[in-house]
C-alpha cells in the first residue's frame, strides 16, 4: 500500500481528503496542530505536529511516498484581510520546511494547495468578470498577505521540480464548500456563514450580508474537490491548475438559493463596512478539462443543500435553534 501524508488533516479539505484516500485503499498519515473538529479521522495514524517547526516536518514525512500538503493558516475574507503578517509567517514556514523535508525523505510526489487569491486584483474589478485562466496570474497583484504567500510557494514548487526533480503539483482552489467545514468564529467562508445565518433566522428575519451583495464568485463542492486533487496527482501536470466550477453567482443569489433550501423568506441587510474581497472572480476550467479529462459535477444547489442540512444539525444539537 502506498504511504501518503496529508497535512492539514484536521481541517476541512484535509479531513475529507483522508476519507477519500482511505476509501481508495491507501495507507494515510494525517498531521495537524489540531484534531478534526466534527468527526474522527479516518487516517491510519494521526499526529499532532506544528509544521512551522523543521524537526516536526521531518517527523511528519518519515517513511512517506507522497505528500498532500494542505496545512495553512487561513480563513474567509474577514480573517485573511486582518491577519496578513501571521498568515505569511506561519504558511511560509510550513511550506518551505515541508518541501525540503519531502526532498530529503525522497518523496515521489508533493501537492501544494494554492488559491484563486493569487490572481491579480486588476483582473477582478467587475462582477461580470472574465473567467481567470492559469496564465492570468502574471503580472502579479495577488491578494495581499495570503495570496502572495501562495504565489511565492507556487514558485518554490516549480524550483523544486526543476532543480531537484521532486514532482510537485499545484492546485488553485476556487471557493470550496461543504459539510464538516468551519461555520462560525471568524474563519468561516461565505457559503457556511450564510447557511448559519439563515438556519438561525426566523422566517421574514433580516440577515447581515457583507458588502452590497453584487460581488460574484464561483463555488465548488468538497466531493468534487477531493476527486479533482486525486486526479491531478495521477497526471503529469506540474504547472498550476484551477480547480473549481465556472458558474458565477452573486452573494445575493447565494443568499436566495440558501433561503430557498431552508424554505424561509429572508431579507438582507447590507453592511458596506465589512470586507468583500475582489468584485468578481470566476474560474476558467479549460486546462482542467484538457489535462484531467474531467470537471466537477455537483451543482451548487445540491452542495448547498448538504451543507445547510449539516450546519442546521450542528446548531440543533447545540440547542441553538
Nearest to ligand NAD by Cβ — which residue? 11
Of residues 20, 146, 160, 308, which has the active-site annotation?
Answer: 146
Alpha carbon of 30 to those of 147, 168, 311: distances in Å? 25, 19, 25
Least distance in Å: CB of 36 to ligand NAD? 8
Which sign, positive or negative, has the C-alpha torsion 310, 315, 317, 321? negative
Q: Before 309, cis peptide (omega within 30)?
A: no
| DSSP states of 156-182 | HHHHIIIII--EEEEEEE--EE-TTS-
Least distance in Å: CB of 73 to ligand NAD? 5
Query: How far apart are the C-alpha atoms of 28 and 89, rounded to whole Å?
Result: 28
Question: In terms of CB distance, is 160 or 173 closer to ligand NAD?
Answer: 173
Q: For residue 110, list its beta bridge partners.
A: 67, 168
How deeply is 106 buried, as exposed, middle or buried, from its count of CB atoms within 10 A (0-12, 13-18, 19+)?
exposed
Question: In terms of CB distance, is 33 or 321 closer to ligand NAD?
Answer: 33
Query: How far apart are the C-alpha atoms of 71 and 11, rounded to whole Å?
Result: 8
CB contact at 8 A, 102 and 41: no
Binding interface with ligand NAD (CB under 6 A): 8, 10-14, 32-34, 50-52, 70-74, 90, 94, 113, 115, 173, 175-176
Q: Is 146 part of the annotated catalytic residue set?
A: yes
Least distance in Å: CB of 52 to ligand NAD? 4
Residue 92, number of CB atoms within 10 A of its CB: 17
Q: For residue 32, list its beta bridge partners.
A: 48
Least distance in Å: CB of 145 to ligand NAD? 12
Least distance in Å: CB of 206 to ligand NAD? 27
Q: Which residues are catalytic?
A: 146
Amino acid at each position: 500500500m502506498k504511504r501518503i501524508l496529508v497535512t492539514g488533516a484536521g481541517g476541512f479539505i484535509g479531513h475529507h481528503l483522508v476519507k477519500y484516500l482511505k476509501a481508495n485503499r491507501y495507507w494515510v498519515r494525517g498531521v495537524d496542530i489540531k484534531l478534526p473538529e466534527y468527526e474522527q479521522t479516518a487516517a491510519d495514524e494521526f499526529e499532532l505536529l506544528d509544521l512551522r517547526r523543521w524537526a516536526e516536518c521531518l517527523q511528519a514525512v518519515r517513511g512517506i511516498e507522497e505528500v498532500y500538503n494542505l496545512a495553512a493558516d487561513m480563513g474567509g475574507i474577514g480573517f485573511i484581510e486582518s491577519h496578513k503578517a501571521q498568515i505569511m509567517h506561519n504558511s511560509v514556514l510550513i511550506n518551505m520546511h515541508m518541501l525540503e523535508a519531502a526532498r530529503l525523505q525522497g518523496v515521489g510526489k508533493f501537492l501544494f494547495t494554492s488559491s484563486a487569491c493569487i490572481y491579480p486584483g486588476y483582473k477582478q474589478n467587475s462582477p461580470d468578470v472574465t473567467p481567470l485562466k492559469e496564465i492570468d496570474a502574471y503580472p502579479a497583484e495577488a491578494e495581499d498577505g495570503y495570496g502572495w504567500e501562495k504565489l511565492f510557494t507556487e514558485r518554490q514548487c516549480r524550483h523544486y521540480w526543476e532543480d531537484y526533480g521532486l514532482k510537485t503539483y499545484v492546485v488553485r482552489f476556487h471557493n470550496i464548500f461543504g459539510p464538516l467545514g468551519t461555520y462560525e468564529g471568524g474563519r468561516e467562508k461565505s457559503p457556511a456563514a450564510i447557511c448559519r445565518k439563515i438556519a438561525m433566522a426566523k422566517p421574514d428575519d433580516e440577515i447581515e450580508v457583507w458588502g452590497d451583495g453584487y460581488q460574484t464568485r464561483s463555488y465548488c463542492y468538497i466531493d468534487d474537490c477531493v476527486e479533482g486533487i486525486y486526479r491531478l496527482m495521477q497526471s503529469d501536470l506540474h504547472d498550476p491548475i484551477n480547480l473549481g466550477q465556472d458558474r458565477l453567482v452573486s452573494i445575493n443569489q447565494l443568499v436566495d438559493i440558501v433561503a430557498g433550501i431552508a424554505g424561509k423568506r429572508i431579507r438582507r441587510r447590507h453592511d458596506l463596512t465589512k470586507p468583500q474581497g475582489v468584485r468578481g472572480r470566476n474560474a476558467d476550467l479549460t486546462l482542467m478539462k484538457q489535462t484531467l479529462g474531467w470537471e466537477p459535477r455537483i451543482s451548487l444547489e445540491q452542495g448547498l443543500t448538504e451543507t445547510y442540512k449539516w450546519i442546521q444539525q450542528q446548531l440543533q444539537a447545540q440547542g441553538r435553534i
